Structure 1
Amino acid sequence: MENHEPVQEEEERNPKKKNELWEWLKALAIAIILAFVIRSFLFAPFVVDGTSMMPNLHDRERLIVTKLIYFFEQPTREEIIVFHATEDRDYIKRVIGVGGDKVEVRDDQLYINDKPVEEPYLAQYKEKAHAEGVPLTADFGPINVPKGELFVMGDNRRNSKDSRAIGTISLDRVVGRADVVFWPLDEFRFPNKTVK
């Protein structure tokens, strides 16, 4: 009489293997979908390219940009944002003026709606510029920021291509807010917390 037990055991093992494979495939698919949703709608990595945000952000630093925040609120003055400057290039700059604001710089002093505004995040560069006998920010304006637009500038005012050159940017070009510097690790910080 033939013994069929090994075949039966193999048949019992195969469905378990198929089930396990199916579970792994489902988990992988869910992970891919979650990664896509997180990257598209919640957070995105960004690499600082250049020195236009010095001394507060440095070339090659890596950031996490929060995208979701601007589904619920609009950017506010002093926030550091990432936006689409061109079809294939994103910029990182600081919001100086929002829709309805009048922006002007006279004698290295920023004025919003004719009121002087302190910029503590520029103190280091301002001191250095004044020691060299030059203003950090050359006079410009007044510029009226249209509704639905932002006026942005880099913190390194003498070396930044920003709204003084490219004009105001529309809110629909904003990618998100630069919330976390995560690389290099010893520079980990929250760049927008310093202005609140």
Structure 2
Amino acid sequence: MNEYLDSFIVAGGAALLLITFLIRSFFIPSESMLPTLQVHDYILVDKLIYHFAHPMRGDVLVFHPPHLDDPEKKDFIKRVVAIEGDEIAVQDGQVFLNGTLLDEPYIAEPPISDFGPLRIPKGYIFMMGDNRNNSDDSRGWGPLPLENVVGKAFLIFWPLQRIQLLH
């Protein structure tokens, strides 16, 4: 009996450490990342990765939105489209990064409104939802401070038929 209790305590402690410092699950409540993420998907997020590296273009991140009164009470998920030093613009349904048309096979449909150009300042990134016409993102509230990043989404784990790694 004592063996089982010890095993349970060790397993519980390991799970608590994992959830607190390394990995966290999130529920997808909206259509802003369609078709990549669907409503009711559950994902896993690596909370440790950006302590050692900066987000890269194309990464799908969970973050605290800077435009809310208490941003830590809500989490958003979007794709990194531009990093510090980049210039981003949306013109005629196309996204341009540093003057070059961005290849975006993951978007639901091209954006209908123009934006920018905007140069991304040091310590910031520019986030956009894959469902460009149904996303509350950096086009509305500006570049995201790096300190607002929670982590990088890396796996859809529910529903079972949608299990896949995210790129």
Considering the TM-score relative to the shorter chain, is it more than 0.5? yes
SS at match of 1:120: coil
Residue pairs, 1:27-106, within 5 angstroms? 27-85=7-65, 86-106=71-91
Looking at structure 1, the residues matched to 122 and 114 of structure 2 have their Cα atoms a distance apart, in angstroms, of 23
Aligned to 1:181: 156
1:146 aligned residue? 121
The Cα shift of 1:125 comes to: 2.4
Q: Is the 8 A contact 2:109 2:133 kept in 1?
A: no
Instruction: Show CA shifts across 1:80-130 (max 9, x none).
Output: 1101121200000000111111111111121111222111112x524xxxx
Sort the Cα spacing of 1:92 and 1:140 in 2 relative to 1 into closer, same or farther, 3 A: same
Report which of the two has the higher share of helix: 1
SS of 2:44's partner is strand
Structure-2 residue corresponding to 1:7: none
- Provide the secondary structure at the position in 1 that maps to 2:85: coil
Structure number with larger C-alpha Rg:
1
Q: Once the two structures are superposed, what CA deviation does each residue of 1:150-193 show, in whole Å capped at 9, x if it has no partner?
A: 1000011111000111221111111111111011111111121x
What amino acid is the match of 1:88? K
How far apart are the structure 2 equivalents of 1:167 and 1:89?
Answer: 17
* Matches of 2:124 and 2:109, distance apart in 1: 27
Find the aligned partners of 2:8 and 2:122 in 1 and give their Cα distance.
44
- Identity between Structure 1 and Structure 2 (%): 40
Taking structure 1 as the reference length, the TM-score comes to: 0.78
Structure 1: runs of 5 or more not aligned: 1-19, 127-135
8 A contact 1:55–1:125 mirrored in 2: no
The residue type paired with residue 58 of structure 1 is: Q
Unaligned stretches of 5+ in structure 2? 66-70
Please report the TM-score for the alignment, with normalisation by the length of structure 2: 0.90
Structure 1 vs Structure 2 CA RMSD: 1.4
Distance in 1 of aligned mates of 2:80 and 2:17: 27
What is the rounded CA distance, in whole Å, between the counterparts of 1:28 and 1:172 in structure 2? 35
Q: Name the structure 2 match of 1:130.
A: none
Aligned residues: 162
Contact conserved, 1:79 with 1:94, CA < 8 A, in 2?
Answer: yes
Matching residue's letter, 2:126 = F
